[in-house]
Amino acid sequence: MKAVTAGEMREIDRKAIYNFGIQGIVLMENAGRRVAEAVAERLGPAYGRTVTVFAGKGNNGGDGLVAARHLYNMGADVKVLLLDKPENISGDAAVNLAIWRKMDQKIYTVTQKEDLNAVRLFLVKTDMVVDAIYGTGFKGKVREWAGRIIEAVNACGKPVVSVDIPSGLEADTGNVGGPCIRASVTVTFGLPKIGLLLEPGAGYTGEMKVADISFPPVLLEEESIKHNLVDRELVRGWLPFRPNTSHKGDYGRVLVVGGARGMVGAACLAAGGALRSGAGLVSLAVPEEVYLPASSMLAEVMVTPVPGTGAGTLSKKALPVISEMMERSDVLVLGPGLSTHPETVSVVREIVSFNNLPLVLDADGLNALAGNLDTIKKVKAPVVMTPHPGEMARLIGASAGAVQKNRLREAHLRSAEWGVVLVLKGARTVVASPDGIIYINSTGNPGMATGGSGDVLAGVIAGLAAQGMQLDRSAAAGVYLHGAAGDSAALKKGLMGLVAGDIINFLPGVIKSLEN
């Protein structure tokens, strides 16, 4: 499913109105009705229940007025609280305000400090709140008076349905600059807004319902819309089909180069992720000092000892052996548990410089390139880089906080600059490809913030790529499956006790549920 900025959504609105002749009042009617349906679904029978609608002066408020009318028609006792003077309402919103009044329904104008106690009284007596204060055009921080009302709504403990986007949330970034509605449900129109998918915005959204308000499908599928929500149906359509006559050679060979003394588990987790995501054959090259523990961890992986430094890390003498193994492989994973030993860093840089395989660069593979990114720009083979915010910060010479402030922008810029598929890990992982296409993941949970989780992801991405999926799709699907496996594990084991190995163990069930 596509996801849009506020500007892209405005353009869809404009084309629906001017190219297809669907009048704005029709779109508003459909939007308000969908909100009313979501309220009724949450409330149960609306008859005799009280709903309080907070409406701003723009089209978002107009949607709220339509919802109020439909809820009243369902038998609800509806209170409309307007955060502006009625004479300031214009356009289609003014039409719906007039209809509400002609139905002999009252408008409560709440624009002064003295009105706050009345607002709180309404909230005490209501069963549900509809938030129609600010729409997708909002940026920055809400006005002081609106902020006080938002704080009162959040404090009242009643369920809230937000119209299109929670008031106080930026549609393009997910940033929250002040008071912001914490919605139980957000009914968004046509397509998800990017701010609903990214943290912190996702944490304010509650359950997201994408409502059809009669936009022609061609407008929602335009190639110019570059952002995508990675969901079940998208990934299901990408997974390769397995004919009855196939054999292991048809599903690719993954080579993992990783491991060091004390960190061999990271390399084994990456190999396990590649296996469980469907790769036909997986090989693991580790320093000879850690060969025995590595070879005992996974019976299905072919483990090869290569020369080490004596400190249990990769030596330059390993290069010929690794080069020979690469000639028999289809995808390379480089970095899990390698360490930042100076000689190992130089080995990583050399492998990257002569590599001709699709490459998944993770963990210490990324750390080895910090301050030396010209190497990655010269690689002719396709590359996936999988940094968490700290690793990304080291790569670009910034703070992790600066990276987190605008994850989407950073991923997009660096992917284009370095010519790589960039997987910026974290809550709502972002996958950016050099052609400008961006994927935002919809799975995962805080229990996955555990050592080794990223190593499993690197292996999953490689395993999918080995089966012939194009690299950006391998990355996006890998992130989705990895997160979905973590979600399944959390349901069984809880968040605090979840470990990276659980993600591997739950991968087959997740993939089975999606297989064609």
- For position 122, which CATH number holds? 3.40.50.10260
98 and 199 housed in the same domain: yes
Q: What is the DSSP string of 418-430?
A: HTSEEEE-STT-E
> Parallel, antiparallel, or unpaired: how do β-strands 438-441 and 430-432 relate?
antiparallel
The CA angle 469-475-478, to the nearest 5 degrees, is: 90
190 and 257 housed in the same domain: no
The H-or-E segment that residue 506 falls in is helix 500-514
Does residue 197 lie within any of the structural domains? Answer: yes
**φ, ψ of residue 261 in degrees (nearest 5):** -55, 125
Neighbours of 319 (CB within 10 A): 17
Which of 434, 222, 458, 241 lies closest to 335, judged by CA? 458
Does residue 335 lie within any of the structural domains? Answer: yes
Q: Residue 266: which CATH number?
A: 3.40.1190.20
353 and 468 housed in the same domain: yes
Query: Using CA atoms, how far apart are residues 123 and 156, in angstroms rounded to an integer?
Result: 6
The H-or-E segment that residue 253 falls in is strand 253-257
- The 8-class DSSP code of residue 314 comes to B
308 and 181 housed in the same domain: no
Structure tokens at 150: 């938002």
Does residue 261 lie within any of the structural domains? Answer: yes
257 and 378 housed in the same domain: yes
Does residue 324 lie within any of the structural domains? Answer: yes
Query: Using CA atoms, how far apart are residues 209 and 186, in angstroms rounded to an integer?
Result: 6
Query: Using CA atoms, how far apart are residues 131 and 184, in angstroms rounded to an integer?
Result: 11
Burial class (CB within 10 angstroms; exposed 0-12, middle 13-18, buried 19+) of 145: middle
209 and 334 housed in the same domain: no
Name the pTM for this structure. Answer: 0.93
Query: Using CA atoms, how far apart are residues 185 and 84, in angstroms rounded to an integer?
Result: 25
- Give the pLDDT score at 371: 84
Does residue 116 lie within any of the structural domains? Answer: yes
Does residue 120 lie within any of the structural domains? Answer: yes
**By three-state DSSP, how is residue 344 classified?**
helix
> Parallel, antiparallel, or unpaired: how do β-strands 331-334 and 160-163 relate?
unpaired
265 and 366 housed in the same domain: yes
Mean pLDDT, consecutive 10-residue stretches, the chain (516 aa), reads 96 97 98 97 91 97 98 97 96 98 96 91 97 96 94 97 98 94 98 96 97 97 96 94 90 97 97 97 97 93 96 96 97 97 96 96 94 86 96 93 90 96 96 97 96 98 97 98 98 97 98 88
In the block, which residue shows the tokens 């703070």?
399
Query: Using CA atoms, how far apart are residues 404 and 239, in angstroms rounded to an integer?
Result: 31
160 and 257 housed in the same domain: no
Contact (CB, 8 A) for 220 and 248: no
- Give the pLDDT score at 406: 86
Which of 221, 292, 224, 229 lies closest to 261, judged by CA? 292
36 and 85 housed in the same domain: yes
66 and 18 housed in the same domain: yes
Query: Using CA atoms, how far apart are residues 155 and 141, in angstroms rounded to an integer?
Result: 19
Query: Using CA atoms, how far apart are residues 443 and 208, in angstroms rounded to an integer?
Result: 14
Does residue 233 lie within any of the structural domains? Answer: no
Burial class (CB within 10 angstroms; exposed 0-12, middle 13-18, buried 19+) of 19: exposed
- Give the pLDDT score at 516: 63
Does residue 417 lie within any of the structural domains? Answer: no
Contact (CB, 8 A) for 463 and 273: yes
List CB contacts of 153: < 8 A, sequence separation 6 or more. 54, 123, 129, 131, 160, 181
254 and 220 housed in the same domain: no
- Give the pLDDT score at 298: 87
Which of 421, 408, 501, 502 lies closest to 464, judged by CA? 421
360 and 218 housed in the same domain: no
The H-or-E segment that residue 78 falls in is strand 77-82
Task: Note down the domain range covering 488.
Answer: 249-386+442-514
Q: Could you give the number of structural domains in the chain?
A: 2
Which of 185, 205, 183, 182 lies closest to 193, judged by CA? 205
